[in-house]
Amino acid sequence: MAPYSQVIDRSGLYFDPGRPSDLTTILNETDFDDAELVRANRLRREIARLGLTKYNLGRRKPAWSPLPGKRVVLVPGQVADDASIRLGTRGITTAEDLLREVRARRPDAFIVYKPHPDVLSGNRRGAIEVNAWADLIEQDADLISLIEVADEVHTLSSLSGFEALIRGKAVHTYGLPFYAGWGLTHDALAQPWRKRTLSLDMLTAGVLLRYPIYWDWSLRLFASPELVVRQLAIPAARPLTSIRGDRLRPARKASRWIASCLRHLVWQCRK
């Protein structure tokens, strides 16, 4: 599925904590008005209601049920060579190290590790061995269904932490993701470039309303996030499918990115 959103950041990049980005400027300095916060609240609730996520591969609930009185801790896997891992981690940098730390902090919890879909497909690196720190390596259920049954989500820098936040879950970070450090997450590291505390609606407004641009592939026009959410609702609700291995995927992503940049440049010139 082609991406419906893209960011063009003139200051840095949201996954690089080494310098401020346009997103950190938005989140630090924007005076969000009531109408924008209401819009952000409705948008995040609709995303949660429809079960939308980054990949929208469909839904499949876990075959297991949480044990009574046992906290369920979800640890989403990441791609080993992902930029957010290379740039946004300190000390704990691997899934094995993260699971070891989570087990030390939550010795009595039921810890579920969910491998990244790109790793399961073979498109990206990051496979790990089943180990003593996770109670379950979950490869069948979809991520959102796992977030819904989890009490906590522990992550290095995965976008799933933001997806868990907008669903009201407790999120613990061990890296430097864009959504950490604003008073909404439990953070193992000091987060740079944060100057104030945000509400969840303020974070949502900055991340989903102000920062990206959205593209409607059917109309070939720029779109609102609300329109994109409606278009993604159908594929997100289907039975879960897997990402297929695709060696040409990086080239296709680069081609789409260049085309989107050119469209955005033309649009800016016409304004």
pTM to 2 decimals? 0.84
- Can you give the residue ranges of every domain in the chain? 5-52+204-270, 72-196
Supply the CATH classification number for the domain 72-196: 3.40.50
Look at residue 240 in the predicted model and tell me its pLDDT: 76
Q: What is the pLDDT of residues 215-254, one digit of tens each?
A: 998 888 999 999 999 999 888 888 877 645 445 545 555 5
Look at residue 122 in the predicted model and tell me its pLDDT: 47
Looking up tokens 């102000």 gives 210
- State which H helix or E strand residue 232 sits in: helix 225-237
Q: What is the pLDDT of residues 164-214, one digit of tens each?
A: 999 999 999 999 999 999 999 999 999 999 999 999 999 999 999 999 999
Q: What is the pLDDT of residues 123-145, one digit of tens each?
A: 444 445 657 799 999 999 999 99
Please return the burial class of 56, using the count of CB atoms within 10 Å of its CB with bins 0-12, 13-18 and 19+: buried
Pairwise pLDDT comparison (247 vs 106), residue with the higher score: 106
Look at residue 123 in the predicted model and tell me its pLDDT: 43
CA angle 168, 172, 173 (to 5 degrees): 125
Look at residue 251 in the predicted model and tell me its pLDDT: 56
Question: Which band of pLDDT confidence, cut at 50, 70 and 90, is reported for residue 269?
Answer: low
Pairwise pLDDT comparison (85 vs 223), residue with the higher score: 223
Sign (positive or negative) of CA dihedral 238, 124, 174, 99: positive
